[in-house]
Structures are given as C-alpha cells and as structure tokens.
C-alpha cells in the first residue's frame, strides 16, 4: 500500500489565503509516501509546507508559480504504475479530455495527473486514467464556477489503484472513491 | 580577605557549637534526661554512657539545669557570626529549649510554682539567656492558665526590648513568635477569655513585628559604608523572620476584614512607611500582598495604594504593583461572582490612578518601567473587565502620553514591553475588529520604531489569519490598513533595501493573504472595500505591487462573478456597482503592474479579465483586455521560454471566447497564429501553431467550426515539423525524433473524430505513412519515447476501429 497525495492549484496567496483548516488537520506528516502536484502553488512557503508533509515531492510548473525551475512535465514510477504530471495550461483546449489523452500517450504513462481547470476529474480512457485533483483551496477559476476545495489521495497496491477524492462541501469533508485496475500486459 | 573572614567564621561557629554542646550535655545530666531523650539526638550516646543518677528531686537539679542552660545560651551572645551561621546556633538552642520546656512542665506537675519559676529564671546573669529562658517559662505559664495569656505575652514582648542588637534581637523575638503562635487569645482558642481577646493577640503580634522591623532596619546603618553590600545580603537572609509576623496575623481567625481594615493594615503600613528603608519597604509590601487574602486587598485598595507614593523613591514599586495586579487578576478569574466587587470598589480607576501617581512621582523612571506597569494594568483590565473597551483604551492612551516626546527605537526593552502591550488585546479578544475599536491602538503603534512596527503589523495579520477573522466593512479595512501601514508602504526615512529579500517576500505575501479576508457579500460594501484596499496598496511602490495587486484583482473578479448572478440581460448597468465599473478599475490597476516590470504577470491578469468580460457578454471590454495582453507580449515578453507560455495562455483563453463577433475574432486569431509561427525554436513554433488549430473549431453548439482553417493550421504545423527535421539533419547529421509528427497526427485524429470534413481518412493514412518513412530512414534518431508514443497512438486507432458503430466506421479505412 503506497499512498500518493495529489493536490494542486492552491494559488496561495494570489487567490486564496491558505488551505482549508479541515484539510490541514487531515494532512499530517509521515502518513504519505509521495506528493505530486500539477502546479500553481504558488510560493515557496507552500512548497516548504508540502515538503514537510512528505520529502518525496514532485511538482510541475503552473503559469503562476514563483519558482521557474519546476519542469513542464514529469514522469515517475510508483509500484506498478507510471505516473505523468503536467499542469495543463499547455494543453489546448483547456480541460479537453481527448487532448489530455494525447498528452498521456506522449508521456507513456498509466495515470496522468493534471490541473488548471480547478475541477475534480477522474476519467478512464483507452490509454489510461486522467486525474485532476481540482483546487485544494477552492481558488477562483475563469474556467470553473463555484469551485469546492478538493484533493486526491491514491492508494497504489499492485495493479490496482484506489482514488480517494476529498471535497470540502458546505464546511464538511466528503470522501468518494474510484477503483482502477491496470491490465498486466501493457507497456 | 573574604575567604579569611569565612574561615574565621567557620572557626568561631565551631567554637560556639563546641561550647554549646558541652553545656547542653551538662544541662541534660541535670535534667535526668536519658529516658526522655528524643530519638536522633546527637547527644544520645554521650548521655547513655553515664550511669543513671538516682537522685531525689530537689532544687539542686533545677538550679543546675538553669545554670547550664544559661551558659549554653550564652553562646548566642556572640557578635561574630553572620546571620546564616548564627541560625545554626539558634536552631540548636531551639531544640534544647524544647526539652527544657518539657522539664519545666514536669517540674510544675511535681509542685514547683510556675510563678516562682518565672521569677527564678530572671536571675540569670546576662540578659539574652535570661530572656530566652523567660520566654520558655512563659510558654509553660500560659499553658498552665494561671495567668491570662494576654498578660504574659505583653510582659514578654516588652521585656525583649532589652536586647537592641539587631541579629540577636531578631532571633530572640523570632523565638518569642514561634513559641507564642499557638497560645494567642484568638477567637475560639482556649486562651480567649474576659482578659484577652483577639485584639490583644493582634496587638502583641503587631508590637513584636514593629520592634523586629526596627531592629532589621537598624542593621542597614551598622558598620562601615564599604560593607554595605554585605550587610544588605545579611539583611536579606533575615527578612523572613520579620515577614513571619505578618503571616501569623493572616492566620489569626479573629482578624476579619473589619479588623484588617481598621487596625492591622494601617498599623503595618505605618511602620512600613515610617521606617524609610528601601529593603524593608519593598519586602514588606510584597509580603502584605502575598500573605493576606485578595478579597481584603480589594476592599483596602485605596489604603494600600495610598502608601505607595510615600515609599522611598528607590523602591521598585512597579514590581509591587504588578504583583498586586496579578493577584487581583487571578482572583477575578477564579470565579465570576467576585467581579461585581471589582466594579463596586472601582478597582480599575484606583489602580490606574495609583500608577499615574507613581510615574509622576518618579520622573526619572525609565520608559521600560512605566510601560511594564501599564502592561500589568492592561493584563488586569483584560482579565477583570474585558468588556470595558474604554478602560483598555484608557490604558493605551496613558502609554501614548508616556511615549510622546521620546525618541523611537532607543530602548529595546521598552520596545518589547510595548509589543507585549499591543499583543495582549489581540490575544484576549481573538478578534481584530475589537482591537480596531481602540482609538489609541494605532497611536501606540506610531511610537514604535519601523522594524518593530512592522513586526507588530505581522502579528496583527497572523492573528487575523489564525482566527479566520473576516473584516467586512470598508471603514474597518481603513482602520486596519492604518495599523499595518508600515508593511504597505515606505514610511519616512526607511529604504526597503535594508530588509532581507526573503523576509520582505514573506511580509508582502502575508499582506496578500490578508486581502482575501476582507470580504462582504453585499456588493456595494465589497466595492468600497476593494477601492479602499486599492488606494492603500497603490502607495506601496514597485517592489510591493507584484505581491499585493494579484489578490486584489481576484477579489474584484469574484465580485464580478457575484454580480453576474444578479445582473443578466443588462440589468444593473446603472448603480454604484456594475461589472463595467469593476472592469475599468481592473484595467487601471493591472496597468500599474505592467509599468513596474511585471509584464508576464500583467499579461496573465489581463487574460483573466478578458475571460471574465466574456462571461459578462462585454465584447469591447474583452477585446480591450486582449489588446493589452498582446501589447505586453509584443513589447515586454522577450524571453523565449516565457513567450511560449504566454502565447499558449493567449491561445487557450482565446479558444474559450464566445463573445467575439467575426471581425474581432479574426483579428485576434490572426495575431495569435502569427506570433505562434514566429517563436524562436521550431518545435515551439510547431506546437503553438497546431494549438491554434483549436481556435477554428469550438465543440459547442454555436461554436465556430471552420474545418478548412483547421486543416491549414495543421498543414502549416506539418511544414514546420518537416523544416525542423531537415534542420536537424543538417546540424547533426541525423533527423530529430518523430515526436512532432506523432503529435500532429494525434491532432488530425482529434478533428477527424469531431467530423471535420476536410480531414479525411486518406489524409490520415498519408500522415501515418510519412511517419513510418521518417522512422525507417537511416538518418532518423531513435527515441524510445517517440516510439512508444507512436505505438500508443496506433493502439488508439486500433481501439477506435474496434469500437464499432459510427466511430468504427470512420476508422475503418485506416490501416495501421
């Protein structure tokens, strides 16, 4: 059981002051093995905070990120899964699943984690799974109205990944889960 | 020199103890004490080795006992020992005298008259042993009840006047105090009677106290001036002997509030004031406060405080007052029932008056002293009268007065106290709004030096963030920004260069976060808040704007969203708050950003506004924002990597625009594609150009679907990709990876699926073959990633073919 936290588009401090308190109290150091973030943190303080939760931190560049050294895309292997990370402002049309599928094929990954739209999505297509953890702070988005703060926790176990999505709706944290299985034969 | 003195003292003490023990030994023998010796006695072995003397009880024993005890006690007549060492002798004497007392008691049982005994001991040659013996007999006398306790005690306390040597006198009277404690004619005690009331008990203790204090004070003036420090140290060692009397008074049952108020306190204070001794005054004031109940202090506040200005000016009265206020604060916290009492006795005004008087009386008191007094008073006020903001404000006002006219940044200790003063209301109320009501709060802050002022401002912001406090009116926002102005702009005389860059960033980021806490759901009020914030942050200068403007922009965009919900159909075009007005404000604000060398940020914000204007159906406004974005791109974004990101943002935003008419759309699209083709690196060009293909196809119901222009874009991208391959051939001797081609192929597939009539299966087939050719040619570079990409694309095509239905039909002609 490997826990991977996926969260992004916090937009601190441009669009939000901080993570919701209820999320902060849930995110405790030492419980998570990896953190992946599509980007738009935006400042070093947020980076340091995430690093304190888990030293294995992977970030790609969002268009508002202070640190220009984050890569545009990143791939990593966790267990049996290849994960790809990209903020998503580079993929036009924004949020278009077919275009994201192309990126997934290009990166050759089982799971593509992306952001930019601030809307949670977990979508399976021929080439794999696309996950958008939404905005962890519920930040304003020109694309999505009424953003609820959300993040994703993936439990990778062998060929199976369980995706837990945590959403803050009307002050309460709601959890949902989706199962994905990888067929053993693939690349 | 000093060590010699210590060695000498050790020697004298040893000598004294030796003499003492010898006489004690003889005394025991006289007392026939082998049977009565208490366990643990150091003399046990000695005495046991002596054969029991079976003498009949006769006066020879008694006389011997008295003789040897007097000799033993003579060791206490020494002047050579410091109090610390003297105490050792005293303790031994005390123990021995207990045995003697028991012996006296036995004697009286056997028929010896206590009155005679009382008289007999007075024949001792020297006064000090005489008086110790007298007190000891006196103890038995009182217990026997043959005379009223009052009379015996009165006699003893007056007889002790015979010893005027400070150390000896203090210990003697201490002995008297110790043995008399349980024999006072207190209410409910067995010694109370017609002759002897609690009043007499109090009188006795007060007298002993007064005399002891006089002796104690006298020590200060004994000996040469150069040994002053040593004397003061010795006095310190003895102070509890004096203070004990007050403790005894506090334990007397009969001393109720009335008696405390009428008799005890005035008499004690009289002695404290009149002795005019700094050490005594400080210690005794502290003692009074600690020893008597808080309830009493509350009711005698005026008297107690009245003594303060009468004390010596060198007395640390601040600490005394602070102690008092702390005790009273704790008392108030202990139960809510006592609070009305505080109001009834007007505790606050008395305390603040007293503090005022003390400060006035000591003009040379350093600022830190005065401020720490006010900190104590504030702590008191916050605990006892938290709802009385006027009191809190008063305390702050007094501080302002004290700080006026003094230079800032001089005294770091005073600064710390001022910060403590300002932090206290924040912590207590956990609500900045309450603190904002304190009119003197900003005035106190004005007296801080710049650095500390900013530190305090950050404390305020942190308090707001921690407590999740929202500030909901423009007026309060105004007041808040007044408080934190040190962070918002350069204050006179401090260049920002002084500050470390990391610290500056942190500071400004906390201001940015703060802006999100300034909200009101009412649109008009929110507009006022936004304009207020804007007015303040625009004074921040080029270094601060990149931090503070973005949150303001997004605040305003949220307001636009909020209005959208209400407007619709052009309603709300009039009135104080309209989307148009907000867009005007946004425009002007972002412009200031572009003039302070943050063009990339400004570009992004313009695009955000364009999208918002699109959602409000304001075509000219959206067009204007795009214009600004393009101007920035043309003139300011020079870095090629930044250009790539910027053009993708422009394309992405433009792709989502629905508000533009054909002409406007064409102009902007033309510009976008033009700039895409002009990016520096070929691969970047290629990607931007095929991204532009989406500008001609929007998958919505009324979206543009210009299949021809889409194909033109993709073809152009293909040409660029070809050119890139050729360049790679020329430069490196081998073609680059086929990645670009595969990407373009994917795009062809995308539009093919969407039903673009200009993209046929033939075209796709052609492209597939082109790629295959490229890959097989000798000059191509093999990139496993590109191979995998192609492979997965092929798999995708296969998958679509196998889907069946319309999609399967579409894909049928394509061979992989």
Vertex B128: Cα angle to B126 and B133 (nearest 5): 100
Identify residues of A whose CB sits under 8 angstroms from chain B CBs.
12-18, 21, 43-45, 63-64, 89-90, 92-94, 98-99, 101-102, 105-106, 108, 126-127, 140, 142-143, 145, 187
Tell if the CB–CB gap between B796 and A126 is shorter than 8 Å: yes
The reply to whether B580 touches chain A by the CB within 8 Å rule is: no
Tell if the CB–CB gap between B742 and A106 is shorter than 8 Å: yes
Say what the pLDDT of residue B495 is: 58
Say what the pLDDT of residue B501 is: 86
CA distance to partner chain B, nearest, from residue A146 (Å) = 10
Say what the pLDDT of residue B369 is: 84
pLDDT at A121 over 70: yes
User: Exposed, middle or buried by CB within 10 Å (0-12, 13-18, 19+), for B806?
Assistant: exposed
Tell if the CB–CB gap between B799 and A14 is shorter than 8 Å: no
The rounded distance, in Å, linking the Cα atoms of A141 and A119 is: 9
Say what the pLDDT of residue B780 is: 63
* Per-residue pLDDT tens over the stretch A76-114: 999 999 999 999 999 999 999 999 999 999 999 999 999
The rounded distance, in Å, linking the Cα atoms of B679 and B325 is: 74
Say what the pLDDT of residue B357 is: 86
Query: Is the backbone peptide bond immediately before A13 cis, with ω within 30 degrees of 0?
Result: yes
Tell if the CB–CB gap between B648 and A90 is shorter than 8 Å: yes
Which structure tokens are listed for B495? 């260049």
pLDDT at B37 over 60: no
For B550, the closest chain A residue by CA position comes to A14
- Considering CB atoms only, which of B615, B651, B796 is closest to A105? B796
- Considering CB atoms only, which of A89, A98, A140 is closest to B554? A140
The reply to whether B505 touches chain A by the CB within 8 Å rule is: yes
Domain coordinates of chain A in residue numbers?
2-181
User: What is the spatial order of strands in the sheet that A34-37 belongs to?
Assistant: A57-59, A34-37, A2-6, A150-157, A160-169, A172-181
Which ipTM was obtained for this model? 0.96
How remote is the C-alpha of B537 from its chain's centroid? 28
Could you tell me which residue, B337 or B768, shows the higher pLDDT? B768
Residues of chain A positioned with their CB less than 8 A from the CB of B691: 92
Residues of chain B positioned with their CB less than 8 A from the CB of A16: 516
pLDDT at A177 over 50: yes
Tell if the CB–CB gap between B743 and A17 is shorter than 8 Å: no
Structure-derived torsion over alpha carbons of residues B634, B640, B643, B647, reported in degrees to the nearest 10: 110
pLDDT at B799 over 50: yes
CA distance to partner chain B, nearest, from residue A74 (Å) = 13
Q: Are strands A111-114 and A81-86 parallel, antiparallel or unpaired?
A: parallel
CA distance to partner chain A, nearest, from residue B445 (Å) = 25
Which structure tokens are listed for B282? 């400080």
- Which among B587, B603, B604, B523 has a CA at the least distance from the CA of B561? B523
pLDDT at A59 over 50: yes
Give the mean pLDDT of B792-800: 93
Say what the pLDDT of residue B55 is: 43
A16: helix, coil or strand? coil
Residues of chain A positioned with their CB less than 8 A from the CB of B697: none
Give B311's Cβ-side CA count (13 Å radius).
28
For residue A57, the cross-strand partners are A35
The rounded distance, in Å, linking the Cα atoms of A150 and A160 is: 22
Say what the pLDDT of residue B111 is: 79
Give the mean pLDDT of B218-245: 88
Say what the pLDDT of residue B42 is: 55
The rounded distance, in Å, linking the Cα atoms of B132 and B70 is: 9
Percentage of chain B lying above the pLDDT 70 cut: 93
The reply to whether B799 touches chain A by the CB within 8 Å rule is: yes
Tell if the CB–CB gap between B792 and A105 is shorter than 8 Å: yes
Band (pLDDT 50/70/90 cuts) for residue B35 is very low
Tell if the CB–CB gap between A12 and B513 is shorter than 8 Å: yes
The rounded distance, in Å, linking the Cα atoms of B804 and A67 is: 48
**Distances in whole angstroms, Cα of residue B410 to Cα of each of B8, B141, B367:** 49, 67, 10
For B555, the closest chain A residue by CA position comes to A15
CATH architecture of the domain A2-181 equals 4-Layer Sandwich (3.60)
* Per-residue pLDDT tens over the stretch B90-140: 998 899 899 888 888 888 887 788 888 888 888 888 999 999 999 999 999
Number of helices and strands in chain A (H, E): 3, 11
Say what the pLDDT of residue B51 is: 46
Percentage of chain B lying above the pLDDT 90 cut: 50
For B613, the closest chain A residue by CA position comes to A142
Tell if the CB–CB gap between B516 and A16 is shorter than 8 Å: yes
Tell if the CB–CB gap between B785 and A108 is shorter than 8 Å: yes
Vertex B611: Cα angle to B606 and B613 (nearest 5): 90
Query: Is the backbone peptide bond immediately before A42 cis, with ω within 30 degrees of 0?
Result: yes
Vertex B673: Cα angle to B790 and B650 (nearest 5): 90
pLDDT at B47 over 50: no
Could you tell me which residue, B632 or B385, shows the higher pLDDT? B632
Give the mean pLDDT of B379-401: 89
DSSP letter assigned to residue A70: S
> Which of A10, A12, A16, A17 should one mutate to test binding to chain B, selecting the residue with the greatest count of B CBs within 10 A?
A17
- Which among A139, A168, A16, A146 has a CA at the least distance from the CA of B564? A146
Tell if the CB–CB gap between B608 and A90 is shorter than 8 Å: no
Residues of chain A positioned with their CB less than 8 A from the CB of B739: 106
User: How high does pLDDT run on average in chain B?
Assistant: 87
Which structure tokens are listed for B328? 């009273």
Residue corresponding to tokens 């960033």:
B505
Give the mean pLDDT of B725-754: 87
A156: helix, coil or strand? strand
- Which among B457, B448, B404, B395 has a CA at the least distance from the CA of B426? B457
Band (pLDDT 50/70/90 cuts) for residue B531 is very high
- Considering CB atoms only, which of A14, A16, A92 is closest to B652? A92
Residues of chain B positioned with their CB less than 8 A from the CB of A24: none
pLDDT at B21 over 60: yes
* Per-residue pLDDT tens over the stretch B403-451: 887 766 567 788 888 889 999 998 888 888 888 889 999 998 888 888 8
Instruction: Give phi and psi for A179, each to the nearest 5.
Output: -100, 140
Residues recorded for chain B: 816
Q: Are strands A57-59 and A34-37 parallel, antiparallel or unpaired?
A: parallel
Residues of chain A positioned with their CB less than 8 A from the CB of B755: none
Give the mean pLDDT of B653-674: 95
Vertex A102: Cα angle to A98 and A103 (nearest 5): 120
Say what the pLDDT of residue B52 is: 45
> Which of A99, A102, A115 should one mutate to test binding to chain B, selecting the residue with the greatest count of B CBs within 10 A?
A102
Tell if the CB–CB gap between B649 and A63 is shorter than 8 Å: yes
Which structure tokens are listed for B129? 């042993």
Say what the pLDDT of residue B187 is: 81
The reply to whether B507 touches chain A by the CB within 8 Å rule is: no
Give the mean pLDDT of B597-602: 91
Tell if the CB–CB gap between A126 and B793 is shorter than 8 Å: no
- Which among B407, B320, B425, B414 has a CA at the least distance from the CA of B370? B414
pLDDT at A165 over 70: yes
CA distance to partner chain B, nearest, from residue A125 (Å) = 10
Q: Are the C-beta atoms of residues B639 and B592 closer than 8 Å to each other? A: no
The rounded distance, in Å, linking the Cα atoms of A110 and B439 is: 62
Tell if the CB–CB gap between B796 and A14 is shorter than 8 Å: no
pLDDT at B277 over 80: yes
The rounded distance, in Å, linking the Cα atoms of B809 and B811 is: 5
Q: Is the dihedral of CA B488, B493, B497, B502 positive or negative?
A: negative
Residues of chain B positioned with their CB less than 8 A from the CB of A44: 505
Residues of chain A positioned with their CB less than 8 A from the CB of B655: 92-94
Tell if the CB–CB gap between B516 and A102 is shorter than 8 Å: no
pLDDT at B251 over 70: yes
Residues of chain B positioned with their CB less than 8 A from the CB of A64: 604
* Per-residue pLDDT tens over the stretch B628-639: 999 999 999 999
The reply to whether B518 touches chain A by the CB within 8 Å rule is: no
Say what the pLDDT of residue B777 is: 76
For A87, the closest chain B residue by CA position comes to B645
Q: Are the C-beta atoms of residues B315 and B282 closer than 8 Å to each other? A: yes
Residues of chain A positioned with their CB less than 8 A from the CB of B743: 102, 106
- Considering CB atoms only, which of A14, A45, A142 is closest to B551? A14
The reply to whether B801 touches chain A by the CB within 8 Å rule is: no
Say what the pLDDT of residue B60 is: 62
Band (pLDDT 50/70/90 cuts) for residue B25 is confident
> Which of B512, B516, B688, B694 should one mutate to test binding to chain A, selecting the residue with the greatest count of A CBs within 10 A?
B516
Band (pLDDT 50/70/90 cuts) for residue B573 is low
> Which of A93, A116, A187 should one mutate to test binding to chain B, selecting the residue with the greatest count of B CBs within 10 A?
A93
pLDDT at B509 over 70: yes
Helix axes B317-334, B278-291, angle to 10 degrees: 0
């Amino acid at each position: 059981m490997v826990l991977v936290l996926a969260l992004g588009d916090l937009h601190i401090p441009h669009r939000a002051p901080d993570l919701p308190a209820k999320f902060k109290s849930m995110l405790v150091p030492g419980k998570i093995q990896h953190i992946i973030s599509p980007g738009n943190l935006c400042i070093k303080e947020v980076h340091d905070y995430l690093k304190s939760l888990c030293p294995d931190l992977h970030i790609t560049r969002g268009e508002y990120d202070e640190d220009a050294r984050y890569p545009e895309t990143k791939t990593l292997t966790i267990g049996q899964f290849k994960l790809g990370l990209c903020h998503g402002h580079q993929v036009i049309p924004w949020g278009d699943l077919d275009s994201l599928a192309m990126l997934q094929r290009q990166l050759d990954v089982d799971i593509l984690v992306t952001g930019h739209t601030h809307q949670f999505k977990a979508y399976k297509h021929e080439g794999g799974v696309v996950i958008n953890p939404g905005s962890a702070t519920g930040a304003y988005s020109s694309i999505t109205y009424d953003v609820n703060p959300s993040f994703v926790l993936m439990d990778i176990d062998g060929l199976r990944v369980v995706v837990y999505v945590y959403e803050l709706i009307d002050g309460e944290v709601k959890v949902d889960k989706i199962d994905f299985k990888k067929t053993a034969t693939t690349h | 020199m000093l060590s010699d003195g210590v060695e000498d003292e050790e020697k004298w003490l040893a000598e004294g103890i030796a003499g003492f023990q010898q006489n004690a030994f003889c005394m025991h023998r006289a007392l026939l004490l082998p049977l009565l010796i208490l366990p643990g006695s150091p003399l046990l072995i000695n005495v046991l080795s002596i054969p029991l003397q079976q003498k009949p009880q006769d006066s020879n024993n008694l006389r011997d006992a008295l003789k040897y005890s007097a000799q033993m006690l003579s060791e206490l007549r020494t002047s050579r020992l410091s109090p610390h060492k003297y105490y050792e002798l005293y303790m031994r004497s005390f123990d021995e005298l207990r045995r003697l007392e028991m012996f006296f008691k036995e004697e009286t049982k056997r028929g010896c008259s206590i009155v005679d005994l009382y008289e007999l001991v007075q024949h001792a040659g020297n006064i000090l042993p005489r008086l110790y013996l007298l007190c000891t007999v006196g103890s038995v006398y009182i217990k026997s009840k043959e005379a009223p306790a009052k009379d015996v005690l009165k006699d003893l306390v007056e007889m002790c006047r015979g010893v005027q040597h400070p150390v000896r006198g203090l210990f003697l009277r201490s002995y008297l105090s110790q043995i008399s404690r349980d024999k006072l004619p207190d209410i409910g005690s067995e010694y109370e009677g017609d002759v002897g009331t609690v009043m007499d008990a109090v009188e006795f203790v007060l007298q002993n106290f007064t005399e002891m204090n006089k002796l104690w004070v006298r020590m200060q003036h004994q000996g040469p001036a150069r040994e002053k420090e040593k004397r003061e140290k010795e006095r310190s060692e003895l102070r509890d002997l004096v203070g004990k009397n007050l403790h005894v008074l506090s334990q007397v049952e009969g001393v109720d509030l009335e008696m405390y108020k009428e008799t005890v306190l005035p008499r004690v204070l009289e002695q404290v004031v009149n002795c005019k001794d700094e050490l005594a005054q400080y210690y005794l004031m502290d003692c009074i406060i600690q020893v008597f109940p808080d309830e009493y202090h509350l009711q005698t506040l005026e008297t107690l405080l009245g003594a303060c200005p009468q004390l010596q000016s060198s007395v640390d009265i601040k600490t005394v007052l602070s102690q008092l206020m702390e005790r009273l604060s704790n008392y108030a916290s202990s139960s809510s029932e006592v609070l009305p009492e505080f109001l009834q006795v007007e505790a606050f005004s008395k305390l603040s008056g007293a503090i005022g008087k003390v400060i006035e009386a000591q003009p040379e008191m350093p600022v830190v002293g005065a401020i720490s007094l006010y900190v104590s008073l504030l702590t008191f006020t916050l605990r006892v009268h938290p709802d009385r903001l006027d009191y809190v404000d008063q305390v702050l006002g007094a501080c302002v007065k004290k700080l006026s006219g003094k230079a800032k940044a001089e005294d770091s200790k005073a600064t710390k106290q001022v910060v403590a003063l300002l932090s206290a209301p924040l912590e207590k109320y956990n609500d900045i709004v309450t603190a904002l009501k304190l009119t003197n709060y900003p005035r106190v802050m004005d007296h801080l030096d710049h650095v500390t002022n900013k530190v305090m401002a950050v404390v305020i912001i942190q308090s707001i963030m921690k407590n999740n406090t929202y500030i909901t009116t423009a007026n309060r926002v105004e007041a808040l920004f007044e408080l934190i102005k040190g962070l918002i702009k350069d204050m006179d005389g401090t260049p920002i260069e002084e500050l470390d860059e990391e610290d500056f960033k942190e500071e400004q980021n906390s201001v940015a976060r703060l802006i999100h806490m300034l909200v009101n759901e009412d649109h008009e009020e929110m507009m006022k808040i936004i304009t207020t914030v804007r007015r303040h942050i625009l004074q921040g200068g080029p270094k601060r704007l990149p931090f503070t403007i973005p949150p303001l922009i997004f605040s305003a965009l949220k307001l636009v969203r909020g209005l959208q919900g209400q407007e619709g159909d052009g309603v709300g075009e009039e009135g104080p708050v309209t989307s148009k007005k907000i867009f005007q404000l946004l425009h002007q604000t972002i412009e200031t950003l572009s003039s302070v060398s943050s063009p990339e940020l400004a570009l992004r914000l313009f695009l955000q506004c364009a999208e918002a204007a699109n959602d409000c159906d304001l075509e000219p406004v959206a067009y204007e924002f795009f214009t600004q974005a393009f101007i920035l791109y043309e003139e300011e974004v020079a870095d090629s990597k930044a250009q790539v990101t910027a053009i993708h943002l422009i394309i992405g935003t433009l792709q989502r625009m629905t508000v533009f008419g054909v002409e406007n759309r064409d102009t902007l699209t033309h510009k976008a594609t033009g700039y895409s083709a002009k990016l520096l690196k070929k691969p970047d060009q290629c990607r931007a150009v095929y991204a532009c293909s989406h500008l001609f196809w929007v998958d919505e119901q009324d979206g543009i679907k210009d299949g021809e222009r889409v194909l033109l874009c993709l073809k152009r991208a293909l040409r660029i990709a070809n050119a890139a391959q050729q360049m790679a051939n020329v430069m490196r001797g081998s073609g680059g990876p086929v990645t670009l081609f595969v990407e373009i192929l994917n795009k062809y597939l995308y539009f093919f699926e969407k039903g673009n009539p200009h993209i046929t299966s033939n075209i796709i087939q052609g492209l597939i073959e082109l790629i295959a050719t490229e890959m097989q040619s000798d000059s191509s570079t093999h990139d496993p990633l590109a191979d995998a990409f192609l492979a997965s694309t092929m798999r995708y095509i296969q998958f679509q073919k196998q889907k069946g239905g319309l999609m399967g039909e579409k894909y049928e002609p394509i061979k992989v």
